[in-house]
Amino acid sequence: MKIAFIGLGNMGAPMAANLAKAGHEVTGFDVAGASAEGVAVAESSVAAVAGAEVVITMLPNGAILRAVADEVIPAMAEGAVLLDCSTVDVESARAVASQAEAAGLGALDAPVSGGIGGAAAGTLTFMVGGSDAAFAVGKPLFDIMGQKAVHCGPSGAGQAAKICNNMILGVTMIATCEAFALADKLGLDRQSMFDVVSTSSGYSWSMNAYCPAPGVGPQSPSDNDYKPGFAAELMLKDLGLSQQAAEAADADTPMGQRALELYRSFVEDESGRGMDFSAMLPRFEKRGRG
């Protein structure tokens, strides 16, 4: 398949490389001049998409996605599919999909879970919104770049699923870190805490698969000085998107709102920028009730 890939950053580059390694003809473009193994580099986004059957984008935010869509949609081949893997606001995802469909193109919003490691290993999970026909075109590519693709519904549904999932993740990570900090002050051994909670009603992905306490549970960023697997500033971005969506939908999400406030303080006012999102644990360790 002839594929264009716009956005060859920390996530996009390994995803594009995996497609090229699988035998697809991939042409990439990145405003920063980045490249990826096995991927031809075009001099512009418009040049990259010429003749492509699928155009994949992996971009920082909805405003940039809209700007790139304005550039590439008029240059895309008739019947091609615009497959956006960025994590953006639902409104932008739906607007770009409508723009693509009006031009006779297919459109998918397909944000990912799995981080940089999952992008490199080809084990991402895709949450996909769009038509059945467009999903059928994208499915073989999802199978190369990831281990699972869930068709969540029409355009925007992929972003909605990602936002809701990561709101849960942010809230449960904060609760897990709070609980470990409380356990420390109560004199409870961390391994004992993990052994109880990981097999009891406090079970969660944050505890069992990504434990924020070093030396406890499976290997996680806490065992590597909290170097990011999923950076705190990315969690802040996703929680911001969740609350933007909640406001638009008139949904009451007080825990999501509080998680946003805590991560904003951690990233903007404390030492959280450049740290893993599980580094909330040392933050709570240092703090008292006041």
Inter-residue contact 70 to 61 (CB < 8 Å): no
Alpha helix (H) residue ranges in 22-156: 45-49, 62-72, 90-102, 115-121, 132-145
Structural domains present in the chain: 2-154 (3.40.50.720), 160-286 (1.10.1040.10)
pLDDT for 162: 96
User: Under DSSP, is residue 195 helix (H, G, I), strand (E, B) or coil?
Assistant: helix
Cα 257 to chain centroid, rounded: 19
pTM: predicted TM-score of the whole model, two decimal places: 0.92
Q: Which residues contact 219 (CB under 8 A, 6 or more apart)?
A: none
User: CA distances (Å), 244 to each of 56, 144, 251, in order?
Assistant: 25, 32, 10
Amino acid (1-letter code) at residue 19: L
| pLDDT number for residue 289 | 87
What per-residue confidence (pLDDT) applies to 182?
A: 98
- Would residue 162 show up in a list of annotated catalytic residues for this protein? yes
* Confidence at residue 90, expressed as pLDDT on a 0 to 100 scale: 95
Q: Per-residue pLDDT tens for 22-52?
A: 999 999 999 999 999 999 999 999 999 999 9
Rounded to whole angstroms, what are the CA distances from 4 to 48, 211, 283?
Answer: 6, 38, 42
Give me the pLDDT at residue 235, please. Answer: 97
Instruction: Spot the catalytic one: 2, 162, 227, 286.
Output: 162
Q: What tens digit of pLDDT does each residue of 48-91 get?
A: 999 999 999 999 999 999 999 999 999 999 999 999 999 999 99
Q: What is the pLDDT along the chain (290 residues), one digit of tens a residue?
A: 999 999 999 999 999 999 999 999 999 999 999 999 999 999 999 999 999 999 999 999 999 999 999 999 999 999 999 999 999 999 999 999 999 999 999 999 999 998 888 999 999 999 999 999 999 999 999 999 999 999 999 999 999 999 999 999 999 999 999 999 999 999 999 999 999 999 999 999 999 999 999 999 999 999 999 999 899 999 999 999 999 999 999 999 999 999 999 999 999 999 999 999 999 999 999 999 87
pLDDT of residue 16: 98
Which pLDDT score is estimated for 117? 87
- Single out the residue of 286, 19, 266 nearest to residue 8, CA to CA: 19
